[in-house]
A and B are shown apart, each in its own frame.
Chain A
Amino acid sequence: MIAQPAPKPEILARRAEIVAALSAIVPGDGVISEAVRLKPYETDGLAAYRQVPLAVVLPRTTEQVAAILRYCHANGVRIVPRGAGTSLSGGALPLADAVVVGLMRMNRILDIDLDDRLAVVEAGVTNIGITNAVAGDGFFYAPDPSSQLACMIGGNVMMNSGGAHCLKYGVTANNLLGLKFVTIEGEIIDIGGAHLDAAGYDWLGIITGSEGQLGLVTEVTVRILRGPEGARAMLAAFNGTEIAGAAVDAIIGSGIIPVALEFMDKPCIHACEAFAHAGYPLDAEAMLIIEVEGSTAEQDDLLNRIKAICERFDPISLKVAESAEQSLAIWKGRKGAFGAVGRISPDYLCMDGTIPTSELPFVLKRIGELSTQYNLGVANVFHAGDGNLHPLIMFDANDADSFHRAESFGADILKLCVEVGGCLTGEHGVGVEKRDLMTVQFTARELDQQRAIKTAFDPQWLLNPSKVFPLQGDLLPPLAAE
């Protein structure tokens, strides 16, 4: 288990007063303080960790957010910002002495400008909500995390989320123009705007992916793109993971950048096939899903090129979708991968390291060995073009030892990712989950530099403390808890 900081007793003692003050800022049903209604907020996508917060406040306007932060700042109250709570790294995990500021009621689309190709939305608009708002005109918002039905743009910004199509379109950071940002002092600041590459320091860049450490985001201006004429997928299955890896290298080496290039290993293929009946080849050691875009003729051309490349690697199956329906069928298994693994194992941990793609065969072999060592199943699904791994470690949450082994297994995988030249997290963020592993990737001096920048924004460390950075100072847990 990852240690949580000790709550500040003086804050716990002032709970009623804090709730009353927040209720004055967000009148009506804006504050939640009863135990049963706090329960849904006690965890996020990292469900193994739970903590009921001091209170939850659900502002509807940027001014309310500013007033909440001003109050918390003046009173030394910690804050945990929250979107949809789908973080897989425990980024939105509450603290006993913290107020959860939930942005889900700020869910209006404020402006859509097709000529300037942008949308201005509040932080609580879901990722898919943006695309839905512009899809009728043929546009879309490119980053598409698998959680896109639920997760919110504010959470996406704070996690710098990716998706299956970011090989071509980039991650959240590459698709933003501006933010409305509220500092811990309650100042409202416009960052960027409707234009590209605002002059001066790249505040947009440092805030994106900062996991709620620097301030709150209440509005986001995103770039929207015109969709392609069409898209089609193919499936290629191989006899070995290293063979599939070599095929990926050859495709990219040929000058083709598919919009998506997803990899699944045998356990994952089996789990997905049992769940989705997508027609995946069960005898394959590894499978690629490759998607290309353009007109039908362009798709044919690219898929033929890719097929020819795959044929050099003795595929045991090559299936090119002939229609949009067949593409959907190919994707169906992949899109349901997490759910499919959830069906064969009561619980799983989703890891998120990135590796240089050339290290893939070695890393998969090591993960296999670790699976034996820890006696836990693992299914690998990942974004092959960019080396972002998602090993799903299967365990049983009712068995403390199994959970403990799963956490150690996960930590070993992430250390391995760093060892081969990669990183701890490609898109899910550090959160609570990888906080204590930060010393594997960064020197003490590097972490101190990042902490100093956090301090520049949040001198008292009230914003989402105990995430991202290994605990120090008054965040250290009491010794008894060790």
Chain B
Amino acid sequence: MTLAAEAPPDEAGLAALVAAAHAAREPLAIEGRGSKRGLLRPVQAARTVSTRNLTGITLYRPSELIISARAGTPIPEIEAALAEKGQHLIAEPPDTRAIFGVDEAATLGGIIAANLSGPRRIAWGAMRDHLLGIRFVNGEGAVLRSGGRVLKNVTGLDLCKLLAGSYGTLGVMTEITLKVLPAPEATATLLYQVPDIETGVRLLSAGLGSPFSVTGAALLPGEPNLAALRLEDFASSVTYRTARLRESLAAFGAATVLEGEPSRGFWRDLRDAVPLAARPEDAVWRVSVRPSAAPAVVRVAEALGGRTLLDWGGGLVWVAAPPTAAAHDALAAAAAVSGGTCTLFRAPEALRLAVPVLPAEAAPLAAIAGRVKAALDPAGILNPGRMRAGF
């Protein structure tokens, strides 16, 4: 039932459209190129507005470690521009095309609005950590800025972080400035076979707790279970640290080492949850817990007949399992045991409408959330229902 998206040619056009919708109290579904339409809940709106025409890199200063681009710029375009200068997106956001079965690449705005980060998050922070500035249109159609184009900025309330991860419910970002870093000269991956998930998580913790700057720590349950640690830096450092890390983890057995493109390919696949091997009929969850709580989540997932993939040292558990409300409830409960959170990442529409795709907030926080939403989008027209029913 989604009608063709309206795609204003510029920020002013977008602002005018939102202002008119605000005046008419007419809900809008907000999207970039629609690559994550299958994420969280479907929006209850007759009109869809897309940022796909707001494209282009507007400022790139490699020596200042910053890049600015309009929100509709596809991520691959940004990655290519950075690669030309030997730099990269620090949090290596997943390419969600495969998991959502779409051809459209994610836009910068969409990735920030979902605060989606890849394996390097464990060492270098999430997308929201590198978000330096935004321009956005609030729910009244006003064009506003927060942050800026410098690396350190604590001036006023940090609306950048509030909008990151708000899935377009608080404002429509039109331009985004990120911190970027030099891409490492070399990379290596140490692979270990581990007898069980507990041992695997312990190995990842030992690696992350070593002085060797591990930048990826993942566990692929299966026959056998594979634990993986990544090193990235200048080539001489990677060689040295590979040897030292191997020595310090000798108790976990022998490591196989991947270097160069095989190492990069391994983490690219992991970033995109390829090893999860979710079947088309499966639902997919992302469960965020303290690493030591991950084995318990894996057990629950396996009892549901699901498959798992652990990233962030065990702190992120990807789960693929049959799409039932019971499975969702079980995973949400498993996350909650240790105070973690469970996000229904991909599922048939019926399930996404039936369950809370994000955990409920405590009543006092939900009250604040309602007031914050009203402060930015008084008529409640931006992406109603996207995160929670009736919100």
A and B: real partners?
yes
> What is the interface of chain A, defined by CB distance below 8 A to chain B?
113-118, 138-139, 159-160, 162, 166-167, 170-171, 173-174, 183, 185, 187, 189-191, 193-206, 208-210, 213, 226-229, 249-250, 252-253, 255-257, 294-295, 297-298, 301-302, 354-358, 383, 385-388, 421-430, 434, 438, 441-443, 445-447, 449-450, 452-457, 468
CB B22 to nearest CB in A, in angstroms, measures: 14
Max count, chain A CB within 10 A of own CB: residue among B155, B182, B368: B155
Which of B23-31, B218-226, B321-329, B333-341 binds A? B333-341
Given A200-B341, A209-B158, A438-B156, A356 and B61 contact (CB-CB distance below 8 Å): yes
Whether the pair A441, B155 counts as a contact (CB closer than 8 A) is: yes
Interface string of B6-24 (1 = CB under 8 A from A): 0000000000000000000
Q: Which residues from B are CB-within-8-Å of A114? A: 209
CB B113 to nearest CB in A, in angstroms, measures: 11
Max count, chain B CB within 10 A of own CB: residue among A185, A257, A445: A445
Q: Which residues from A are CB-within-8-Å of B369? A: 200-201
Whether the pair A160, B341 counts as a contact (CB closer than 8 A) is: no
Whether the pair A197, B288 counts as a contact (CB closer than 8 A) is: yes
Max count, chain A CB within 10 A of own CB: residue among B128, B157, B165, B316: B157
Given A356-B149, A449-B142, A196 and B288 contact (CB-CB distance below 8 Å): yes
Using A255-B183, A388-B151, A452-B375 as known contacts, list a sample of 4 further A-B pairs with CB atoms less than 8 Å apart, ordered by residue number in A.
A200-B369, A228-B211, A356-B150, A441-B155
Considering the complex, give the chain A residue whose CB is closest to the CB of B125: A174
Considering the complex, give the chain B residue whose CB is closest to the CB of A414: B155
Q: Complex: how many Å from CA A246 to CA B156?
A: 31
Whether the pair A195, B138 counts as a contact (CB closer than 8 A) is: no
Whether the pair A453, B372 counts as a contact (CB closer than 8 A) is: yes
CB B140 to nearest CB in A, in angstroms, measures: 9
Whether the pair B211, A116 counts as a contact (CB closer than 8 A) is: no
Flag whether B253 is at the interface (Cβ < 8 A). Answer: no
Whether the pair A456, B375 counts as a contact (CB closer than 8 A) is: yes
Which of B103-111, B187-195, B264-272, B357-365 binds A? B357-365
Whether the pair A173, B161 counts as a contact (CB closer than 8 A) is: yes
CB B370 to nearest CB in A, in angstroms, measures: 8
Per the 8 Å Cβ criterion, residues 343-391 of B in contact with A are 343, 358-359, 361-362, 364-365, 368-369, 371-372, 374-376, 387
Whether the pair B358, A196 counts as a contact (CB closer than 8 A) is: no
Q: Which 6 residue pairs spanning A and B have beta carbons closest together?
A: A205-B161, A456-B371, A426-B152, A187-B364, A255-B182, A386-B151
Max count, chain B CB within 10 A of own CB: residue among A209, A249, A358, A429: A209
Q: Which residues from B are CB-within-8-Å of A201? A: 162, 165-166, 170, 369, 372
25 contacts between A and B (CB under 8 A): A113-B292, A115-B292, A170-B125, A189-B362, A190-B339, A193-B341, A195-B288, A195-B290, A199-B288, A202-B115, A202-B128, A203-B365, A209-B157, A253-B63, A255-B234, A257-B182, A295-B244, A354-B150, A354-B151, A355-B150, A385-B151, A434-B155, A438-B155, A450-B157, A454-B157
Q: Complex: how many Å from CA A482 to CA B121?
A: 50
Residue of B138, B142, B343, B368 near A199 (CB, 8 A) is B343
Whether the pair A208, B158 counts as a contact (CB closer than 8 A) is: yes
Given A202-B128, A205-B161, A194 and B290 contact (CB-CB distance below 8 Å): yes
Given A199-B288, A200-B387, A257-B181, A442 and B156 contact (CB-CB distance below 8 Å): yes
Q: Which residues from B are CB-within-8-Å of A170? A: 125, 129
Given A202-B165, A255-B185, A357-B64, A118 and B150 contact (CB-CB distance below 8 Å): no
Whether the pair A421, B149 counts as a contact (CB closer than 8 A) is: yes
Residue of B122, B151, B182, B387 near A387 (CB, 8 A) is B151
Residue of A255, A358, A447 near B86 (CB, 8 A) is A255
Flag whether B56 is at the interface (Cβ < 8 A). Answer: no
Whether the pair B152, A354 counts as a contact (CB closer than 8 A) is: yes
Flag whether B330 is at the interface (Cβ < 8 A). Answer: no
Interface string of B31-61 (1 = CB under 8 A from A): 0000000000000000000000000000001
Q: Complex: how many Å from CA A171 to CA B158?
A: 13
Q: Which residues from B are CB-within-8-Å of A456? A: 368, 371-372, 374-375
Q: Complex: how many Å from CA A68 to CA B87?
A: 50
Q: Which residues from A are CB-within-8-Å of B63? A: 249-250, 252-253, 357-358
Whether the pair B155, A450 counts as a contact (CB closer than 8 A) is: no
Whether the pair A298, B240 counts as a contact (CB closer than 8 A) is: yes
CB B142 to nearest CB in A, in angstroms, measures: 5
Whether the pair B61, A196 counts as a contact (CB closer than 8 A) is: no
Considering the complex, give the chain B residue whose CB is closest to the CB of A139: B209
